[in-house]
Structure 1
């Protein structure tokens, strides 16, 4: 009887234990594949380009529509194929679920192109790829650059005040010191073979504090090559705030292009001499700027006001505990 029970336990263990391939790939994705596929939209010749495809990820409260009037036309003009991934619920829901969309996007775009994927993300969109890289190890060999524009890598003190009466799950998770961010930043912050550019502004009113390269957006540990760049260190009189850093800012865009077109992360020393005079990035039409910014602000305000609040941070997934 004892031998039979032992044999049964061994058999069950063999069935339930992950294979080496599963362990290398990370946990199974829980989001249905149809939903993951529907969230990914690509433009340009992803499969035939001589350049790495770019994956654009919007910040909390926003959707890929925000890139239609800035990074979309700018990258098209540069001849760079790009894809966007729509995070669920405008990025307001559990970021652990949003990360699965990013994992799927990295795998799909890399497979379609046969090349590394370069990621450009704003706010949460610059931070969530790090969760994907941390817990789904196979993605690390598929990513060349992670370029964060005002990324919430270490959260924000602003969210603590916002969440006192309850708030959206993603706001809870982006509070400074949250369980989510503690898990994300435990151990190495970066991975070998991936280049990290983190662009921040001291005038960031959302991701704060960001007064220097030890603020929320910056990274320092791990084996990835890292560049933490303050816009005011490049251009002392620069006035970019949180939203403009990721949507219209000419200096931020110049740093993005520098990272995309050179080995390693962005280097401010390589920027053109007139970089500080470029208030708007290419692709932004000044005639429609006010209208587009007003639409963006309306989307942000609507999500903040109407998205259902929860009383506490979502529990960490078992794989992250």
Structure 2
């Protein structure tokens, strides 16, 4: 049977039914996507988009659509073992590097997107988990807008828009019961709700005192990264104020640049951020930018992807004046097998952050810490999000002063594991399936641009 006529079959399935009771706080919407607003439609339109100007790209998109359309609607993530999943992922990504769209094609061709996972991904545009229009209460007497402190950069986004982008789950305790907020910041082209629902939205399995919220940065963080950072700076003060608590911030991919930019140009944020946990960060950009943006062959891409090259003005600006060093205790976690950011091993790894101002940093390379062991295996840019060592380091940072320290971990036990606590095969498949959403968002983003945005005025004279 062909899958396309059965796209809504599994949309009524909440996250809890796939991931177990721990996922109730991040239950997905039960409404099917509106016509023309689903993953399959966007990818299908890309096949015939002559503006792409690249026959090989159109061919790869056609292959993705064909692979997805051929999925038997009865297939389920419950039918796939973790061992089979790992073997297939190893075979694909050990060959790397890949660009986003080629990687998405490879995982669909390998049968790693069963019907239940595709159905969850397919309705991402309509999911309230990804909404940037949340009804959050106005901050009472917080005085965080237009500035928290005199040294902070000005906001260009309205306070209502900044506040509306914050997703606060119904389980959030607002600083009660001894819990501390953890703010999740997504990567480029990947909406926060969908991305983190397969992994760190359930971080309480490793750190029970973590109270998770996330930021749904508009247009899937494909806009100017300087603009994206405004949402992070505001969310830090807003959540800290609502909770009367310090917070921790966890970023993935571009989300880490957004956090670092916010810490640099809104220095008042540093006083309320206890920890910065950076998953697959590209603090130095990537030397092969078309790994992230395969449309570069036609010199057309999105603003934030242009900004993430190795030698861009944006990267130079964030790194100057010791911006390549930590502002708050920082734990970086990265993998050799990152298919998006290069290099990710050795002394020049893009993930590495310095400590020139005396703030503690640990830079944690999975394959160095767990050499030739399960947790040090083939974990990709997105795979780090379910890696057991990554979670244990994040929990260690969250629960102690300073960054995560491997000396406090039982490495014999952690390195022997394949998944973070509380996660399963569905989470692995869903985490990699987010590449399909990223591909769709890249294709749909308009207008594309041929260069990176200008550096904003406040950063020019910093």
- Pick the TM interval, shorter chain: 0.7 to 0.9
Corresponding residue number in structure 2 for 1:23? 150
Asked if structure 1 preserves the Cα contact closer than 8 Å seen for 2:326 and 2:353, the reply is no
Provide the rounded CA distance (Å) in 1 between the counterparts of 2:239 and 2:217. 16
Q: Which of 265, 285, 288 is equivalent to 1:155?
A: 285
Corresponding residue number in structure 1 for 2:254? 124
Say whether 1:37 aligns with 2:171.
Answer: no
Q: Which of 208, 211, 230 is equivalent to 1:81?
A: 211
Provide the rounded CA distance (Å) in 2 between the counterparts of 1:278 and 1:225. 28
Note the alpha carbon deviations across 1:232-271, whole angstroms, 9 max, x for none: 111113221111112x211111111111111111111222
Provide the rounded CA distance (Å) in 1 between the counterparts of 2:345 and 2:326. 25
Offset, 1:35: 1.2
Q: Which of 366, 376, 384 is equivalent to 1:231?
A: 366
Asked if structure 2 preserves the Cα contact closer than 8 Å seen for 1:70 and 1:283, the reply is no
Say whether 1:62 aligns with 2:190.
Answer: yes
Asked if structure 1 preserves the Cα contact closer than 8 Å seen for 2:185 and 2:251, the reply is yes
Corresponding residue number in structure 1 for 2:316? 182
Offset, 1:153: 0.7
Give secondary structure in 1 for the equivalent of 2:382: helix
Offset, 1:292: 1.6
Q: How does 1:218-257 map to 2 (within 5 A)?
A: 218-220=352-354, 221-237=356-372, 238=376, 239-246=378-385, 248-257=386-395
Q: Bigger CA drift: 68-77 or 233-242?
A: 68-77
Corresponding residue number in structure 2 for 1:320? 459
Asked if structure 2 preserves the Cα contact closer than 8 Å seen for 1:71 and 1:283, the reply is no
Corresponding residue number in structure 2 for 1:310? 449
Corresponding residue number in structure 2 for 1:71? 200
Provide the rounded CA distance (Å) in 1 between the counterparts of 2:167 and 2:428. 26
Offset, 1:169: 0.5
Corresponding residue number in structure 2 for 1:269? 407
Asked if structure 1 preserves the Cα contact closer than 8 Å seen for 2:286 and 2:309, the reply is yes
Q: Which of 422, 425, 447 is equivalent to 1:283?
A: 422
Provide the rounded CA distance (Å) in 1 between the counterparts of 2:209 and 2:266. 30
Offset, 1:191: 5.0
Asked if structure 1 preserves the Cα contact closer than 8 Å seen for 2:217 and 2:228, the reply is yes
Corresponding residue number in structure 2 for 1:107? 237
Corresponding residue number in structure 2 for 1:143? 273
Note the alpha carbon deviations across 1:294-319, whole angstroms, 9 max, x for none: 64121011123332320110001000
Give secondary structure in 2 for the equivalent of 1:81: strand
Corresponding residue number in structure 2 for 1:11? none
Say whether 1:210 aligns with 2:344.
Answer: yes
Give secondary structure in 2 for the equivalent of 1:218: coil
Give secondary structure in 1 for the equivalent of 2:310: coil
Using the size of structure 2 for normalisation, the TM-score is 0.61
Offset, 1:291: 4.8
Note the alpha carbon deviations across 1:92-131, whole angstroms, 9 max, x for none: 1101110000011001011112222101111111221110
Give secondary structure in 2 for the equivalent of 1:138: helix
Say whether 1:97 aligns with 2:227.
Answer: yes
Q: How does 1:161-200 map to 2 (within 5 A)?
A: 162=293, 163=296, 165-189=299-323, 190=325, 194-200=328-334
Give secondary structure in 2 for the equivalent of 1:227: strand
Give secondary structure in 1 for the equivalent of 2:249: strand
Provide the rounded CA distance (Å) in 2 between the counterparts of 1:86 and 1:107. 16
**Runs of 5+ in structure 1 lacking a partner?**
1-19
Using the size of structure 1 for normalisation, the TM-score is 0.87
Asked if structure 1 preserves the Cα contact closer than 8 Å seen for 2:185 and 2:192, the reply is yes
Asked if structure 2 preserves the Cα contact closer than 8 Å seen for 1:42 and 1:81, the reply is no
User: How many residues are matched?
Assistant: 299
Give the direction of change, closer, same or farther, for the CA distance of 1:49–1:126 in structure 2 (3 Å limit). farther
Corresponding residue number in structure 2 for 1:17? none
Asked if structure 1 preserves the Cα contact closer than 8 Å seen for 2:199 and 2:427, the reply is no
Q: C-alpha root-mean-square deviation of aligned residues, in Å? A: 2.1
Give the direction of change, closer, same or farther, for the CA distance of 1:187–1:281 in structure 2 (3 Å limit). same
Offset, 1:157: 1.1
